[in-house]
DNA sequence: GCGAATTTGTACGTATGTATC
DNA sequence: AGATACATACGTACAAATTCG
């Protein structure tokens, strides 16, 4: 049970809510630079969304340059 | 019947092939700056792919800054 | 003004491939 | 060999805003 949950009724779509939550968790230091963030499957379970939605959330952070995804490995917080 | 078709056996995934084709068509002047490129539905019919694949192709060009998408309007070649 | 059609946005589930561990 | 994890693709559904007759 995550501290933050998405609000399916909010005007901001779930994938962006999850991206925002992950961004906060990273900036809060929960995931240190170089460490791996939750896998897509874990995000699916944690936030109860489809895998595509979890992927899109991660894609947002990747586009921002906040994380780096390594195929078949995972997604990592960009080293400082 | 498009001049170029995607090759489902190529190592490059369909969405990137379509993005490359559209990029060439734009640079060839088929779509002038400010003009609209084919809609997602048209790309679906032309290249015989799912809409999600067509959307991804357009997203590539958008990420490159080559085109600009206006919700409920269409996607346009970025004005010079 | 109204309603239908159009077009993009978002989300769901599922399947397969490939590389890593 | 098996489990894990990301990449890609398919189809489907509905929402929201714009356009057009």
pLDDT of B8 strictly over 80: no
* B28-77 residue pLDDT tens: 999 999 999 999 999 999 999 999 999 999 999 999 999 999 999 999 99
Residue A36 gets which letter from DSSP? B
Model pTM score: 0.86
Per the prediction, chain A carries an average pLDDT of 90
pLDDT of residue A3: 66
Pairing of strands A74-77, B67-70: unpaired
Q: Which nucleotides in chain C lie less than 7 Å from some protein C-beta? A: 6-15, 18-21
Tokens of A46: 């944690």
Å: A54 CA to D6 C1': 12
* Nearest nucleotide from residue A47 CA, by C1' atom: C11
What residues form DSSP beta bridges with A70? Answer: A74
Q: Quick one: pLDDT at residue A39?
A: 93
Decide: CB of A60 under 7 A of nucleic strand D.
Answer: no
Residue pair B58/B17 in contact by the 8 Å Cβ criterion = no
Which nucleotide in the DNA or RNA is closest to residue A37, CA to C1'?
D5
Q: How confident is the model at residue A1 (pLDDT cuts 50, 70, 90)?
A: very low
pLDDT in the model for residue B2 = 58
| Cα A46 to chain centroid, rounded | 11
Nucleotide at minimal C1' distance from the A74 CA: D5
Structure tokens at A49: 């969304």
* Predicted confidence band of residue B21 (pLDDT cuts 50, 70, 90): very high
**Which residue's CA lies closest to nucleotide D17 at its C1' atom?**
B72
């Amino acid at each position: 049970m995550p501290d933050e949950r998405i609000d399916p009724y909010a005007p901001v779509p779930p994938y962006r809510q999850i991206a925002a939550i992950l961004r906060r968790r990273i900036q809060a230091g929960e995931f240190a630079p170089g460490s791996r963030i939750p896998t897509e499957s874990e995000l699916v379970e944690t936030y109860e969304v489809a895998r595509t939605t979890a992927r899109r959330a991660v894609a947002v952070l990747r586009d921002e340059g906040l994380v780096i995804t390594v195929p078949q490995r995972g997604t990592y917080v960009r080293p400082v």
